[in-house]
Structure 1
């Protein structure tokens, strides 16, 4: 398991990384024009898991998100909370949703968002479907895109 310090280091690296001209993925980071998205931690899947195990893992991920949020709040102040429900609804109706929200809204209900040095940094916990792993992720984008 990675530590909060490891997560902060990853976030710092992504904050200064250039955005590519087209979508790319290098294993742990998906990037595109104006954004990067990286999994900080991914759980096991839950195909045969009982509900108590799913709840236990979700609590672990939410606690890890909370600890990371506290560290970043000390650094940058309190985050905004971005509810991705509107993005999901627009996507479902075939309306345009800017990246990376177009992808994130399918499995992350909300992001904690800080605006730092001309970019935004968002943290969230998501799960694509009840059998799939939980993901603690960071998304970084150009200011003004959310």
Structure 2
């Protein structure tokens, strides 16, 4: 993980991210919920922060946030390109719909992990279903609050991938 905000994603950093994700894809899921400074995991999921920006407590004009968002997007774009080459186009999952579903219908169960935690941080999740495996991979950029760092997040889930956004959204 790094806090460098250099803009384009270097090959070395991209390779670092890919190594972490490949390890996540290969690891068994833990039997119980676990968390540390790099992410969290449970019986059906793993989430890791691959890269994070600085915080924005003193960013009154929003310039630092804009620069960090551009750098984070470059990292995400690099990863999306690699996984699109591997597995084809990703699903575009609207996480906002998972967040609001519980508010609109009190009878709607909470979204399963890792979508339940990701929808608290991000709006869109790029998802690939892994051929021949009961797993999916998701990538997103999230932020807990406007003063907090941006995070490039990778998630691996067991079972069917979250539903993609409806056409026309």
TM-score range, shorter chain: over 0.9
Deviation of the 1:102 alpha carbon: 1.1
Deviation of the 1:145 alpha carbon: 5.4
Aligned counterpart for 1:127 among listed residues 129, 143, 149? 143
Q: CA separation of 1:42/1:92 partners in 2, compared to 1, >3 Å: closer, same or farther? A: farther
Aligned residue in 1 for 2:119: 105
Q: What is the root-mean-square deviation of aligned Cα atoms in Å?
A: 1.5
Aligned residue in 1 for 2:18: 8
Q: TM-score, normalised by structure 2?
A: 0.81
- Which deviations, in whole Å up to 9, do the C-alpha atoms of 1:26-73 show, x marking residues without a partner? 331300110000000011110011311111100110111011100111
- Which deviations, in whole Å up to 9, do the C-alpha atoms of 1:71-127 show, x marking residues without a partner? 111111111111101111024455321111111101111111001122000000011
Larger proportion of strand: 1
Gaps of 5+ in 2: 3-11, 163-169
Find the aligned partners of 2:83 and 2:146 in 1 and give their Cα distance. 29
Q: Tell me the matched-pair count.
A: 146
